[in-house]
Structure 1
Amino acid sequence: MTKAIKLLTALPPPQRQRLMELAREVSFPEDTRIFEAGGTADRFWVIRSGAVSLDQRVNSLQRATVASLGAGDLLGWSWLFPPHQWDFGAGAFSPVRAYEFDAAAVLKLCDDDPRLGFVLVRCVAEILAHRLEMTRGKLMEQYAMHRRGAL
């Protein structure tokens, strides 16, 4: 299994410095909903401290956690791809401190600095590939447990 990619440490120093010029420090109290699936994805965060759960609504009353994120993790990638709507919901599992980035400003920076844009998209793609691998592993574990229970 591959190691989790941390966006800010994966970016070369010059690109990281340019991106961080757009960062705004924010915090979310425990149990705060950060965003909901289907909402407009116009920003993203890099978690500084705390824990965030990504979830998918199962029905009107239930959510299933699909990933847990912590310090250094990227929260939100839907801002990068049309239709720019969140695929999952996210909630603060504990008090969270994060760097927040406005998607439009970051996309303009990427247009102005194609090297930064390439490196940023490559880093996000590596993060998504890792999360897909982790999700696949969890699904296989659940399937195996279900099969054992059915026998």
Structure 2
Amino acid sequence: MTDLYSIPVQTADGQKTTLADYKDKVVLVVNTASKCGFTKQYAGLEDLYKKYKDRGFTVLGFPCNQFGKQEPGSDEEIQEFCELNFGVSFPVYAKLDVNGDEAHPLFVELKKRAPGLLGTEGIKWNFTKFLIGKNGENVKRYAPKDAPASLEIEIERML
């Protein structure tokens, strides 16, 4: 099994990094989009982040343009959109693919650890959520329609 925290990711400003800083935290990874019916979930994600960040929780956004081309902007435009419209203060990384031949290795691993309905690995839409326990244990997958607030009981349990 691949170590989630050693997989290279790119910040919105183009820096190469890993998720190593989050190893001892409960992490919610979300594929996001600015022009989606679920985009308002940014507000709920920010609420979760603010409520639990001091207890060892974080939200990580990964913009994706694979679903209805609902994330057409540049990384800079996405950052500006998130901050201006939803006051997002949690990390939002560089745009990436979550499915197909160019799927980012982080999402390849998350889909293996927490397959969707009937064992399918493909992500069906924007705002699919993966809740990762401390040290990469216990990955749970949530559908786009699952409101961020509905994850609170599980977040509390993992903290």
Structure 2 length-normalised TM: 0.32
Structure 1 length-normalised TM: 0.33
Give the structure with the larger strand fraction: 1
Structure whose alpha-carbon radius of gyration is higher: 1
